[in-house]
Amino acid sequence: MLYKRSNAKTYARENMTGVWGAIPYPFTSDFELDEKGLRSNVRYYVENDLLDGIFCGHFMSEFWSLDLDERRRAAEAVVEEAAGRVPVVVQTGHHSARESVSLTHHAQQIGATYAALGNPYFMVSPTEGIYDYFKWISDRTDIGILISNTGYTGINLTPEMLDRLADLENVVAVKNPQPLEHTLKTVRLAGDRLIVADPDERKWLKLITEHGFRLYTSSPAPYVIQYPGHTPIKDYTALAFKGDIEGAKAIADTLGAERDLMDKWLHDPWKASKLMPIAYLKVWTEALGMAAGPVRAPLTQIEERARAELHDDLRSIGLPLTLQQA
């Protein structure tokens, strides 16, 4: 590990920065984990400078559909292919805290930079039980932990709970897909001990320029609207970090069509019908030349009509499709 438990927060504060992406895990046509495709995708993200960090093994990766061996093998593939060129966060949460500890130890052993824990999602106890779940895992692990505070688990951690969790020695960050007021209150309460990040790309520039944020994590945006030779999110982030707000805004303002398609295919289905749109994400990434394949049950495959409409939408904004694979 690149740091000791005792200085996990300091290490993260110095190194957890930039544009990070939450990646899907590809499957073969017979629903096996496509390790070769996953390795190819990681090389694509890293060698084309699309991501400053990789978040793997959570919702985008269909973690609930993987057995424990597959979760470990996938994490190993990501870490090995990243090869230290970008940091890797491996999501190690599980409804069993004991299994979560085992997965977290594995993430540390294979060289992951951080582990991530989603909110507990089964047999959830009242407030103290939620706190105890995170503390139980933290007490038994050394690697820096990012909390993924997504309500898709059925639980939303309050700023006050995140303030308590920020006191745990190796809890270093929170991915906080919550309303802006929730995120800013978390910063006020715990920002001295916890890196707070929001996965909404539409908010990212405002969070940098008005609130001093340095970490964007994690969504598919950096690899579905960026591609080799076209990295507007990375570009405007770099300008904003240097203080060139006008230059950053000029680039960010060009992304309206891409953001609208992200809303249509990847955000609105969650909000409108609680549909986790991984099938749509996989068709999008496959159309750009990445390995993807089907989703696993209980998610449903994309209908052919929707596939054709998504392809048409991607063409309409000029993305460089390679539809021989789609």
pLDDT on residue 325: 44
98-141 per-position pLDDT tens digit: 999 999 999 999 999 999 999 887 777 777 889 999 999 999 99
Mean pLDDT of 186-202: 98
Q: How far is CA 35 from CA 45, 84, 152, 172, 214, in A?
A: 15, 19, 27, 30, 32
Residue showing tokens 């090389």? 43
Sequence spans of domains, the chain: 5-254
What tokens were used for 139? Answer: 């007490």
Give per-residue burial for 306-325: e unless 16+ CB within 10 Å, then b. Answer: ebeebbebbeeeebebeeee
Predicted confidence (pLDDT) at residue 326 exceeds the cutoff of 50 = no
Average pLDDT over residues 36-64: 97
CATH number of the domain at 5-254, out of 3.20.20.70, 3.30.1370.60, 3.40.50.720, 3.40.50.11030? 3.20.20.70
Asked if residue 308 has pLDDT above 90, the reply is yes
Mean pLDDT on 61-68: 96
Name the least confident of 29-38, 124-133, 199-208, 310-319.
124-133
pTM over cut 0.85: yes
